[in-house]
Amino acid sequence: MTAPKTLYDKIWDAHVAHEAEDGTTLLYIDRHLVHEVTSPQAFEGLRMTGRKVHAPDKTIAVPDHNVPTTLDRVSGVIANEESRIQVEALDTNAKEFGVHYYPVSDVRQGIVHIVGPEQGWTLPGMTVVCGDSHTATHGAFGALAHGIGTSEVEHVLATQTLIQRKGKNMKVEITGKLKPGVTAKDITLAVIGETGTGGGTGYVIEYTGEAIRNLSMEGRMTVCNMAIEGGARAGLIAPDETTYAYVKGRPHAPKGEQWDAALAWWKTLFTDEGAVFDKVVTLKGEDIQPVVTWGTSPEDVLPITGVVPAPESFEGGKVEAVRRSIAYMGLEVGQKLTDIEIDTVFIGSCTNGRIEDLRAAAEILKGKKIKEGMRAMIVPGSGLVRAQAEEEGLAQIFKDAGFEWRMAGCSMCLAMNPDQLAEGERCASTSNRNFEGRQGYKGRTHLVSPGMAAAAALTGRLTDVRDLM
Amino acid sequence: MEKFEKITGVAAPMPLVNIDTDMIIPKVHLKSIKRTGFGKNLFDEMRFNRDGTEIEDFVLNKPQYRSAEILIAGDNFGCGSSREHAPWAIADFGIKCIISTSFADIFYNNSFKNGILPIVMPQEVVDVLMSDAEKGSNARMTIDLIGQVVTTSDGQEFPFEVDAHKKHCLLEGLDDIGLTMAKKAAIETFEASMQQARPWV
């Protein structure tokens, strides 16, 4: 009998193309997603060495980081010259190397991590990489998915493999049921609050437990998306009926006999009884509250009912980091989080730019108006999410409430396009990073769930979404 | 890629924990389609005022550290995005080695691809190295990759671990795409077996 394996072990074993004596492995890559910021140097490298893309059929490109999200973008060119050059370079490279491509003009364009699953490119048991750390998102399907650097992008383009060493196994179990107002975003932030941003370094996380099982695919993607913020390159959730139902019928999902064969294999993708994890973290679902970040690291997270902590309550190098964070964020020690006034709300990103996120925001915003002077924008994760939100009447709710209803892209999550915070502006954001300057030079970011972001837009301060439900 | 065997140089202390990739190279500088020229924007928002003047008390602006080749950093260095622009900027500035108690995985990997040696040391060793770095430009540290040892300015030696494959590539300045392409037969054999086992992929 073979030793019990974790889900990670099984996917890893199924993709070893070559293993050297020292354990250095060539891991075969089933799907390679490509965007305009981290790929131009890789394609240029191929050109200079006369190499080709090894498997163009497994390579999917979409521009997302730089693209404008204003409604007039279809008619005009991108005003920022450097951004335009990057997007044009992707256009050229996609054509020249013959990879699948969703240009800005295509309704299916969007954030690469939303487009992949939406189009059925991401399937259980696959290896998925992209030159973007939030590739972890695809782990929601039980796919081993992680970010890579540009040199590795070039390596995958040229060989369809990655040189890897196996990581360690970590289990994050969320038991029981979530309370009303608590979402996948709160789970994933609460986990990072527990483990710290370095807690997952060297590990692949498998998320398990009743609260995870009860999440939709959208929610699972939110949880896995931020595995990287906990330091883990990849997060995984074993596929189940929820997964199969989401995948079935998508444009690039298997069909007919191939579906049956795929399904039979997918059903073997779970952690065996008795398999050993190197690290286990358990949280009770009912203990998780709606949370918000107060500092400049995703681990700086507290329930919305909390207060800004004192630097002295931390240890080691974190004391100085917290002092710096509080100064940067313009907060006072002991200040109630619900007293923090905000001027900007951003709903979108690969963390929370899917239809379910927009529904959650609409639920809070329905029939209400955002606070006067508030700048609030909703940027759907893809053109198809946008279309669906319009069909469901969500777009009208947002517009009536006073939100800007934008085109798809990464937008203010990393502010490479014109959607940025000005110096000193403070944003309740559904994105994934609250680093200094992340959403604009000297901008201040509080990470929250879509419902919490919507609530903040109405009241003008960080708000407990449960008070508005 | 430039070879890395042994360097002796100035080490700059950056004790801050969780130095992220947005600090190392803010996204406004990610718009180039080249790999070079990022050094001038390394640690941009920590290093420069909005008008382009230098922030005096930032470590790499201090006269004794302007030509630092080694960085001694706080825990979890390089967390955040996968942007290889971070190691490109570090290498372009002239830093060849970073020592910390831990690194974010993707940054760690990216460093080796660009001739930078990231070294993980226990807290007590990083504390010693940090103190040594704080002595300034007279205190030159030596990093010997062949012997896998760091030597402080006063002769204290600390051995370090490094993956054998990564060490080999760094010592020889090897492009690992070429190495992998030499295993083309293994990749094609794997693809053929997958076509049978998982034809839907």
Nearest CB among B23, B106, B181 relative to A159 is that of B181
**Maximum distance among all Cα pairs of chain A, rounded to whole angstroms:** 67
Confidence tier at A73 by pLDDT (50, 70, 90): confident
Asked whether the predicted pLDDT for residue A1 surpasses 70, the reply is: no
Identify from A150, A165, A233, A323 which residue to disrupt to test chain B contact, counting B C-beta atoms within 10 A and taking the largest count.
A150
pLDDT average, residue stretch A94-108: 97
CATH number, span A291-468: 3.30.499.10
Neighbours of A330 (CB within 10 A): 11
| Residue ranges covered by each domain of chain A | 7-164, 168-287, 291-468
Is A224 annotated to bind a ligand? Reply is no
| Residue ranges covered by each domain of chain B | 6-172
Rounded to an integer, what distance in angstroms lies between the CA atom of residue B154 and that of residue B140?
9
pLDDT average, residue stretch A203-217: 98
ipTM of this complex prediction, to 2 decimal places: 0.94
Which H or E run includes A175?
strand A168-175
Inter-chain residue contact B82 with A159, CB threshold 8 Å = no
Can you state the angle between helices A40-49 and A150-159, rounded to 10 degrees? 50
Inter-chain residue contact B45 with A441, CB threshold 8 Å = yes
pTM above 0.90, yes or no: yes
Domain topology for A168-287:
Aconitase; Domain 2 (3.40.1060)
Q: Given this model, what pLDDT does residue A72 score?
A: 86
Interface of B with A in 40-79 (CB under 8 A): 45, 50, 74-76, 79
Inter-chain residue contact A201 with B102, CB threshold 8 Å = yes
Rounded to an integer, what distance in angstroms lies between the CA atom of residue A435 and that of residue A298?
8
**Chain A residues within 8 A of B80 when measuring between CB atoms:** 133, 433, 435
Following DSSP, what letter does each residue of B113-178 receive, concatenated?
TTT-EEEE--HHHHHHHHHHHTT-TT-EEEEETTTTEEE-TT--EEE----HHHHHHHHHT--HHH
Neighbours of A311 (CB within 10 A): 16
Q: B165 — phi, psi (to 5°)?
A: -65, -45
CATH assignment of A7-164, given 3.30.499.10, 3.40.50.10150, 3.40.50.261, 3.30.70.360? Answer: 3.30.499.10
CA of A392, closest CA in chain B: separation in Å? 33
Q: What is the DSSP letter of A272?
A: P
Rounded to an integer, what distance in angstroms lies between the CA atom of residue A67 and that of residue A98?
22
pLDDT average, residue stretch A428-442: 97
Nearest chain A alpha carbon to B1: A151
Measure Cα distances from B169 to A22, A146, B111, B165 in Å.
14, 23, 12, 6
CA of B81, closest CA in chain A: separation in Å? 5
pLDDT average, residue stretch B104-125: 97
Residue with tokens 């006073």: A402
Nearest chain A alpha carbon to B81: A133
Rounded to an integer, what distance in angstroms lies between the CA atom of residue A215 and that of residue B135?
54
Neighbours of B8 (CB within 10 A): 13
Nearest chain B alpha carbon to A254: B200
Which residues have C-beta within 8 Å of that of residue B197, sequence separation ≥ 6?
A: none
Rounded to an integer, what distance in angstroms lies between the CA atom of residue A429 and that of residue A409?
15
CB hemisphere CA count around B163 (13 angstroms): 19
Identify from A41, A203, A320 which residue to disrupt to test chain B contact, counting B C-beta atoms within 10 A and taking the largest count.
A41
Inter-chain residue contact A85 with B15, CB threshold 8 Å = no
Asked whether the predicted pLDDT for residue B69 surpasses 80, the reply is: yes
Nearest CB among A22, A44, A150 relative to B165 is that of A22
Residue with tokens 């290093």: B47
Which tokens belong to A244? Answer: 């199969």
Which tokens belong to A121? Answer: 């490119």
Class of the CATH domain delimited by B6-172:
alpha beta
Is A410 annotated to bind a ligand? Reply is yes
Inter-chain residue contact A149 with B106, CB threshold 8 Å = yes
Inter-chain residue contact B198 with A265, CB threshold 8 Å = yes
Which tokens belong to A98? Answer: 């013959």
CA A124 to chain CA mean position, Å:
17
Given CB atoms, is B113 within the 8 Å cutoff of chain A? yes
Nearest CB among A44, A125, A163 relative to B176 is that of A163
Across chain A, what does the average pLDDT equal? 97
| Interval A10-56: pLDDT, tens | 999 999 999 998 888 999 999 999 999 999 999 999 999 999 999 99
Q: CA-based angle A391:A395:A400, to the nearest 5?
A: 135
Rounded to an integer, what distance in angstroms lies between the CA atom of residue B24 and that of residue B21?
5
| Interval B96-108: pLDDT, tens | 999 999 999 999 9
| Interval B5-56: pLDDT, tens | 999 999 999 999 999 999 999 988 999 999 999 999 999 999 999 999 999 9
For A89, the 3-state DSSP assignment is: helix
CA of A179, closest CA in chain B: separation in Å? 30
pLDDT average, residue stretch A205-229: 98
Inter-chain residue contact A316 with B35, CB threshold 8 Å = no
CA B99 to chain CA mean position, Å:
8
Inter-chain residue contact B113 with A17, CB threshold 8 Å = no
CA of A454, closest CA in chain B: separation in Å? 26
Which tokens belong to B80? Answer: 């955040």
Question: Bridge partners of B149?
Answer: B144, B159
Equal fold, A7-164 vs A291-468: yes
Across chain B, what does the average pLDDT equal? 96
Rounded to an integer, what distance in angstroms lies between the CA atom of residue B172 and that of residue A331?
50
Identify from B81, B113, B126, B194 which residue to disrupt to test chain A contact, counting A C-beta atoms within 10 A and taking the largest count.
B81
Given CB atoms, is B28 within the 8 Å cutoff of chain A? yes
Inter-chain residue contact A132 with B164, CB threshold 8 Å = no
**Chain B residues within 8 A of A254 when measuring between CB atoms:** 200
Can you state the angle between helices B105-112 and A150-159, rounded to 10 degrees? 70
pLDDT average, residue stretch A369-386: 98
pLDDT average, residue stretch A76-105: 94
Identify from A123, A144, A151, A320 which residue to disrupt to test chain B contact, counting B C-beta atoms within 10 A and taking the largest count.
A151
* Pairing verdict, β B140-144 and A426-429: unpaired
Size of interface A-B (CB pairs under 8 A): 189
Q: Which among A34, A15, A11, A35 is positioned nearest to A25, based on CA atoms?
A: A15
| Interval A273-293: pLDDT, tens | 999 999 999 999 999 999 999
Confidence tier at B71 by pLDDT (50, 70, 90): very high
Rounded to an integer, what distance in angstroms lies between the CA atom of residue A13 and that of residue B140?
46
